[in-house]
Chains A and B, each alone.
Chain A
Amino acid sequence: METKSIMIVGVGGQGSLLASRIIGNVLLEQGYDVKLSEVHGMSQRGGSVVTYVKYGDKVYSPVVQKGEADIIISFEQLEAARYVEFLKKGGHIVTSTQSIDPMPVITGAAVYPEDVIGKLRAKDIDVTAVDALTLAEQAGTAKASNVVLMGVVSKKMDFDRSVWEKALENCVPAKFLELNKKAFELGEQAAV
């Protein structure tokens, strides 16, 4: 099988590491060779962060480059716009509708573009946009928006639901499992 690439993008602190670990767990369970690449250190501090997930028969580079991603999962609209050039032709974007102003916008040095999702769709890209933050709050905490998005993504990937459930159990502390299962379910429902 040709190597497939997923990018998880967002703002430092939004929980992209957990998301990549859940997907990695699912892919490992399916018997693929898997590589994940993470960002640590300074860029974590509220900066734009990106995590790569690659899988297939044999994966070499852990990094995804422009024009290579099959799916981009974005925790924040502007980040979907920033990384859209990494998307392969015919690829999917799954994004939260959340928007967080970056510092140059806060200081007035730059403008946050309007209707980001509409403009991405106008490029003939399949964009699934969900209000992951509100759904996560419904599940019990804003912090679970990463898991809501995993629920959405599970509908874009062809793996059995039980594998996702098992991955959640492996990656989430037991005391938060029920809450995260709920968040995942809300994501699944929102994807339809």
Chain B
Amino acid sequence: MKRVLNKKVLFGLYDDEEILKDAVKQINKEEAEIMDVYSPFPVHGLDPLLGLTESRLHIAGFMYGITGTTLAFGFMTWVFTCDWSIIFGGKPYFSVPAFIPITFEFTVLMAAVGMVVTFYLVCGLGFGVENPCLDNRITDDKFCIAFDVTHSSQEEVEALSVLLERTSAGEVHTKDI
């Protein structure tokens, strides 16, 4: 499934993440609106510059985990106290210590699977998804700052190109995605 965004994008390619961060700082100063930044690896210190708030994935993870805890413990309790009570080795039906290992494992399982699924959903990623690629080298050694110029005039695009070049972008291109 090839995703088409119907956007015109102006982007600059940088050679190093430190130059990229400086460029973002400078672009922020000039109040140009960055569409997105792409990099071959996570660049630390970039998120606050782009105004990205902290990911809430871990909160989701906690929710999934606590759901797993409740489900596992509740289910075992129900099975052994209500549905089909069996005495194992003379121990009580509701034998909490024996429920702990499975409760723990199921908590971890739910939290992990839930978080991973959520991650791919919120990022719009998945098997068969084909997102537009600005440049093949972005997953190799180039760092990219992209502007959405779909509704920009020719002058605005030129001004942004100059800005990119001024911030030491090695290459500046436009692309329809």
Q: Do A and B come from one complex?
A: no
Q: Which residues of A are interface residues toward B (Cβ below 8 A)?
A: none
